A and B are shown apart, each in its own frame.
Chain A
Amino acid sequence: DQQVKQNSPSLSVQEGRISILNCDYTNSMFDYFLWYKKYPAEGPTFLISISSIKDKNEDGRFTVFLNKSAKHLSLHIVPSQPGDSAVYFCAASDLGSGGGADGLTFGKGTHLIIQP
């Protein structure tokens, strides 16, 4: 039972263009969402987060959008750079019921490839 879904296993984008990574969730109790970036043979690195009281959070080239009614979030990277090539994981947490002590629920990841 996948509570967090990333339906695109991979995405190829040209350098300089916008990369849009999508994530859907089914658990309406989730109220905190995160994106992690992962290079091969390394652990996930925190990128950006958003709480359910917001619909947008921006940090430099990275913006996360949250649509609670659709249970959908997306990560926009603009402009895309070669170093952005990595696997991106969407994760969610239910802070209201005790927080991340139950751990984060991760999607399966999307492999982003930035082409020169």
Chain B
Amino acid sequence: DTAVSQTPKYLVTQMGNDKSIKCEQNLGHDTMYWYKQDSKKFLKIMFSYNNKELIINETVPNRFSPKSPDKAHLNLHINSLELGDSAVYFCASSQAATDTQYFGPGTRLTVL
């Protein structure tokens, strides 16, 4: 059984479009995260979220917004996509903010 899943695995779209990436975890974790792995292979935190608090990395443009319909889901919505948004996006979850994080398989976003 997949613990942290993401859809789609690949996403190709045009500049200016709005897109969403879905993330679901079946681990019963309280905290979920979004990371971006850029072309230089750095994995950087974008958001962390539990039902009480959203923490945003200050470098993330406000075109990016996480949406959580329930504790098991944290979707990433991106408005007005730009070329520089092309990257692999990973979702992760942990039982608490202090615990080990478990990652999804990643979504490769390509903006043309």
Contacts and interface: CB of A to CB of B under 8 A. Distances in A.
Interface of A: 32, 34, 36, 41-46, 49, 89, 91, 95, 98-106, 108-109
Nearest to B104: A43
Shortest Cβ-Cβ A-B pairs, 3 listed: A103-B45, A43-B103, A99-B98
B45 A44 contact: no
Contacts of B31: 100-101
Contact of A103 (B53, B57, B98): B57
Interface of B: 4, 31, 33, 35, 40-46, 48, 50, 53, 55, 57, 90, 92, 94, 96-106
A55 to B, nearest CB: 19
Contacts of B104: 43
B99 A41 contact: no
Contacts of B50: 101
A46 B102 contact: yes
B55 A34 contact: no
A41 to B, nearest CB: 7
A98 B99 CA distance: 11
A70 to B, nearest CB: 23
Nearest to A89: B43
Given A41-B105, A41-B106, A103 B35 contact: yes
Nearest to A109: B41
Contacts of A46: 100-103
A38 to B, nearest CB: 9
A32 B100 CA distance: 10
Given A99-B96, A103-B33, A103-B35, A43 B4 contact: yes
9 contacts: A32-B98, A42-B106, A43-B103, A45-B103, A99-B96, A99-B97, A101-B48, A104-B43, A106-B44
